[in-house]
Amino acid sequence: VSQGAHPPPLLFCLPTVTSEQIEHLHRRFKQLSRDQLTIRKENFDSIPDLEFNPIRGKIVHAFFDKRNLRQESDGLADEINFEDFLTIMSYFRPIEMNMDEEQLDRFRKEKLKFLFHMYDSDHDGKITLQEYRNVVEELLSGNPHLEKDSARSIADGAMMEAASICVGQMGPDQVYEGITFEDFLKMWQGIDIETKMHVRFLNMETIAHCY
């Protein structure tokens, strides 16, 4: 996208977003990039909503994760352009009323894959139970009404629940290596991720929140 030009046509990954929303996202992109052609990690430092977010690092990391950018290679990108930005935003798009069951299932899995990558920080395709517990505790640490001991207890309970779902499916002679994406899907079964995964990029003063 050249500076001052209109954004590119609607991308395949954002089929329900209007041209007005694309324009809005393009303005947000230019604001974040300071009118440059790409955004780098340091551009997120000036975003108020991220400053005190307990998982700020993981959110920023997710924007540069090549798996989320739908690139074949692994690792992190040094910078993202506007098309990359739209690709990331596609994970936060709302449900369409005319989606059939198959489309809804694919839609849900895409959102959960994005979250899975946030937990799987070493890119090995698995999340250890301790890593899962740590992320839960980090998320809870941002609640000013929750004491540290209470947050730790809830995180411990979440880890034990994950273990009962994942480890409980294994045979006695198998070695547990971590939560796979298939396990992750089972852990989130029954949770309305379709409407709970929000983004505030359309507000020019704020950034993404995932909860």
Asked, for residue 161, whether it belongs to a domain, the answer is yes
Q: Which of 2, 11, 24 is nearest to 69 (CA)?
A: 11
Could you read off the pLDDT tens digit of each residue along the chain, which spans 211 residues? 333 444 333 333 444 567 887 888 899 899 989 999 999 999 988 777 777 778 888 888 999 999 999 877 788 999 999 999 999 988 887 777 788 888 888 888 999 999 999 889 888 899 988 888 888 898 888 888 889 899 889 989 888 888 888 777 666 666 677 889 998 998 888 887 766 676 554 454 444 444 3
Asked, for residue 152, whether it belongs to a domain, the answer is yes
Asked, for residue 135, whether it belongs to a domain, the answer is yes
Asked, for residue 58, whether it belongs to a domain, the answer is yes
Q: Output the six-digit token pair for 161.
A: 């629940």
Asked, for residue 168, whether it belongs to a domain, the answer is yes
Find the domain containing 51 and state its range.
16-202
Gyration radius of the chain over CA positions:
18
Give the distance, in angstroms, between the CA of residue 31 and the centroid of all CA atoms in the same chain: 21
Asked, for residue 182, whether it belongs to a domain, the answer is yes
pLDDT at 202: 41
Three-class DSSP category at 44:
helix
pLDDT at 84: 94
149-156-60 Cα angle (round to 5): 90
pLDDT at 12: 36
pLDDT at 170: 66
CATH of the domain at 168: 1.10.238.10
Q: Tokens 């506007």: give the residue.
A: 82
**Contact between 108 and 95 (Cβ < 8 Å):** no
Distances (CA, A) of 108 to 94, 186, 192: 11, 12, 9
Distance CA 163, CA 161 (A): 5
Q: How many domains does the chain have?
A: 1
Asked, for residue 109, whether it belongs to a domain, the answer is yes
Q: Tokens 């909860």: give the residue.
A: 211
Asked, for residue 207, whether it belongs to a domain, the answer is no
